[in-house]
Amino acid sequence: MSAVIDTTHSHDDHDEHHAPTGIKRWIFSTNHKDIGTMYLIFSFLMFLFGGSMAMVIRAELFQPGLQLVEPAFFNQLTTMHGLVMVFGAVMPATVGLANWMIPLMIGAPDMALPRMNNMSFWILPFAFTLLASSFFLEGGAPNFGWTFYAPLSTTYGPPSTDFFILGVHMLGISSIMGAINVIVTVMNLRAPGMSYMKLPLFVWTWFITAFLLVLVMPVLAGVVTMMLTDRHFGTSFFEAAGGGDPVLFQHVFWFFGHPEVYIMILPAFGIASAIIPTFSRKPLFGYSSMVYASASIAGLSFIVWAHHMFTTGMPVFSELFFMYATILIAVPTGVKVFNWVATMWRGSITYETPMLYALAFVILFTIGGFSGIMLAMAPVDMQYHDTYFVVAHFHYVLFPGAIFGTIAAVYYWMPKWSGRMYNETLAKIQFWLSMIFVNLTFFPMHFSGLAGMPRRIPDYALQFADFNMWASVGAFGLGLTQLLFIYILWDCYKNGKKVGMEVWEGAEGLEWTVPSPAPHHTFSVPPVIK
């Protein structure tokens, strides 16, 4: 049974004459494809907004000394860049892909709760308007880093911190609504005969991600509410003078913050698990182990939060526990990487753009994983903590991980969405430029971090000048390359060659369904040695 039942018109054919058109079609839409498209467009706009802030940060760090911006504004930029990229670019992009693809992959007519789906999207633009407007308030935007540690954010936060608190609440509500929708859809609207262990892996990873969101977003809501009451209602959750504890903030925040990292990367795992089998012309190796590995990663993510806190002076027993638990996550992650490589082994691989992005994702994400194991070592982390090594680590996980995964998905599914093929030559140019510049930007940060350069500081000692210059050059190249991506998408919708139902040559059946029969080939036969 093919796992895709295309329901392009099923949702609104019955009401064809009353279907809203123009702007109303988008504002009131309950169609999963329209809402998915809005999520993707919104996330790309936020990606450009967050990226423009990164450009200013890297321009300031191009050489030592203070050039462009005041130190206070620099801190506002680092804070807003992190918040916009995490909550505005990465998360809405993966929700957009879930909206588009999950109903198609499980044979559902739409998402289970279409009106809630519409509302979960429309909360986002208002939340980010609230956050962005804080730049224009007295005291400027929040300036305490995207992790908003107390007491920087409570006692010393600018007046705009209250806008930030309300914005984060709205983002959390949106995420919970989107997650509930995914859970209900996958549990109730699967096509007859589609058991859980026949779900495509993208659906599985999103299903697991949705449970993570429902579990951790209320924790974020709790911590920002405690901040609010500390600021305005006389409580002392994080105020040492009133009997509170600033380290409590870190515990509560990272109990949300660490699963959040996996919320951003798990959908990309599912995307790689869809793309790599297609362009290897082989079924995915070790399907059930991939499902269990994804679930294990999600489960373990709840017991490793304090590896962000090794420098707070916790007992040695606690440091050992969090160190070993963190290293344990490398096991299911290693299973996934092994299975992707085994899928490609002796496959008939072709290197179309989605496959290039998927391969870059696997390789660079693995590099990010290795530096993560280094940071997990409690005694060593004392040296690495709050240096550019940490910045290099999480950007290697998030940019080549979450962002490359999303771009791979767009190239892979866009012919299916639009019925048109993008310009493969331009897309490959965009890939290679992104690949070069992403490494030029973030690889030197490992060295400046190991040499002791602190993060979130607008000025630095002379010995870090060369590394920072290369990183800034790479960052500007990376930013300009994404403008080429805009042109490729526009060109695809305007001038792209029309394609039929089967988009990727030689990969029929593999694109959608997991329990597909092996394709016709000879590479499973052992070679004859003469």
262 tagged catalytic: yes
**393 assigned to active site:** no
| Contact yes or no for 81/394 (Cβ under 8 A) | no
Please state, in angstroms and rounded to a whole number, the distance separating the CA atoms of residues 365 and 266.
Answer: 12
Helix, strand or coil for residue 238?
coil
Cα-based angle 455, 482, 403 (whole degrees, multiple of 5):
60
- Cα(435)–Cα(377) distance, rounded to whole angstroms? 29
In angstroms, what CA-CA distances link 206 with 20, 47, 291, 493?
30, 21, 11, 27
**Residue 230, token pair as written in the block:** 């500390």
Question: Active-site residue among 122, 146, 149, 470?
Answer: 146
Q: Please indicate whether residue 416 is annotated as part of the active site.
A: no
Query: Residues 411, 271: contact at Cβ < 8 Å?
Result: no
Catalytic residue among 11, 33, 58, 81: 81
Residue 429: Cβ within 10 Å count: 15
CA-nearest of 17, 23, 39, 117 to 417 is 39
Could you tell me where the beta strands, DSSP code E, fall in 384-495? 420-421
Q: Is 175 a catalytic residue?
A: yes
Choose, from 29, 120, 175, 448, the residue flagged as catalytic: 175
Contact 505, 91 (CB under 8 A): no
Q: Count of H helices and E strands in the chain?
A: 16, 2
Q: Which residues pair with 420 in a beta bridge?
A: 498
> How far is it, in rounded angstroms, from Cα 91 to Cα 125?
14
| Whole-number Å distance between alpha carbons of 450 and 65 | 21
Residue 26 known to be catalytic: no
**CA angle in degrees (0–180, nearest 5) for 225-148-326:** 100
State how far the Cα of 140 lies from the Cα of 131, in Å rounded to an integer: 11
Contact 492, 353 (CB under 8 A): no
Catalytic-role residue among 34, 60, 110, 162: 110
Identify the active-site residue in 169, 258, 282, 446.
Answer: 258
Q: Catalytic: 110?
A: yes
| Residue 81 annotated as catalytic | yes
* Candidates 78, 301, 333, 353; catalytic one: 333
Reply yes or no on whether 258 is catalytic. yes
Of 262, 384, 412, 504, catalytic: 262
Selecting among 455, 456, 508, 516, the annotated active-site residue is 455
Q: Which of 79, 153, 160, 174 is catalytic?
A: 174
Q: Check 273, 278, 326, 353 and give the catalytic one.
A: 273
Annotated active-site residue 487? The verdict is: no
Question: Phi, psi at residue 454, to the nearest 5°?
Answer: -75, 150
Q: Which of 32, 58, 190, 336 is catalytic?
A: 336
Exactly one of 307, 393, 395, 416 is catalytic; which is it? Answer: 307
* Tokens (6 digits) for 446: 């490992």
Q: Active site residue: 308, 393, 395, 416, which one? A: 308
Catalytic annotation on 381? no
Determine whether 156 is an active site residue.
no
The single residue of 230, 260, 352, 381 carrying the catalytic annotation is: 260
Residue labelled with tokens 């962000």: 308
Residues with catalytic function: 81, 110, 146, 174-175, 258, 260, 262, 273, 307-308, 333, 336, 455
